[in-house]
Structure 1
Amino acid sequence: MSRKRVVKYSVGREEIAYLREIKRYKLLSPEEERELGKRIRRGDPEARERLITANLRLVVKIALQFSVPDIPLLDLIQEGNIGLIRAAEKFDYRRNIRFSTYAAWWIRQAIHRALMNKRRPIRLPNRKEDVLRKIEKAKQLLEQRLMREPSTEEIAELLGMETEEVEELINLGQEVVSLETQINDGSMDLHDVCPGGASPEEEVCRKACREDTLTLIQRTLDSRESEVVLHRYALTGPRYTLKTLSEHLGISPETVRQIEIRALRKLRERAEVVGDYVLSR
């Protein structure tokens, strides 16, 4: 397993001023989130603004996870705020999921896409650049389907590549920032600004999104397509490889792959209400 490279990040005056500014906004209780959600549904712009400002610290926390020395932290925060705004527009309070859990997916995606467009830590040959972009897209797609970080093996299998090649390219494109970083004047600790730890509502979110996915599959796919997708992405049981599933169904691995591709295309066309959690975009 390769070692991750830890990058110390120095925060400048503008970032310090911003972090102090957003600390003034109070966090919301679940009841307050639901009430704001109701008002947003009725078209209340002040409620939308309140929901956004109360979660600006979440954007900082996530931006730190993506930060690299050659891109200002505020640039990443700005991109994350765009994702936060989209999350506020799409949030459905009736799902009984904390907004921070829902918004985190939109924020990560916005920052990740911005990074892919703005930088590459190591200049790669054109072919490797193209392959790395495919790997990043596959990683995002699998993360949305599986509701977790995909393994290198899963990414490689989706792309029909060798695991070692995928791992090598991921390592070339990856830099990891330590959250054990203090603001350079020593007057503020980033943990004062960023709530730590995983959200306790994460499992509730995953369960609700899985139910949405199963409903979408049931309404969109025929029986064979459904069986392939359910087994390939472990939605109702263990995950099957192409080879295992082909033996189970009595067809070739290539036929299984073609069924999977066709099924995913159908799901993408119907995934409007499932949003970023499923196969949309």
Structure 2
Amino acid sequence: MWLGRVRIPRRLQELQGSIRSKVPLLEQELNRPPTTDEIADYLGATPEEITEARAARGCFSVLSLDRPADGDSLDLVGTLPAAADQDLEQFETLDELTPLLADLDDRCRRILHLRFVEAKSQTQIGQVIGCSQMQVSRLLRATLDRLRAQLGVTAIAA
């Protein structure tokens, strides 16, 4: 069974802490609950960041998998899907890959795009960028090895 985790970006974690500790002070100053814009101004953030941090609230609390879910007879683990959510896993991987891909040179990004977005063969890629299939293979291997190392992936499935 796959029990994935949701990783909240550090900036949102820190913002949640600021909201929790500083917004009560703002409420006292205003003598009313502050608006999202007022909280954003007070904390030096954007209203969108405040909304994101609030939406992620509660993501740090852990529930027992043996605890009944919402009064049902099923426990929490019984409500989880049996198979991994491929879309969520791909989204998490893409989220982690985005800054790493931005650090690649244009040629490596182009090769990855041709191979994995346009599904071109190494020979076709070589024709597009003007090199041999063997050079494409080496560049692709080196780029993928570098990305795996940066992601902390030690082994891949065959």
- Shorter chain as denominator, the TM-score bin is 0.3 to 0.5
Q: Which has the higher contact order (CA 8 A, sep 6+)?
A: 1
Larger Rg: 2
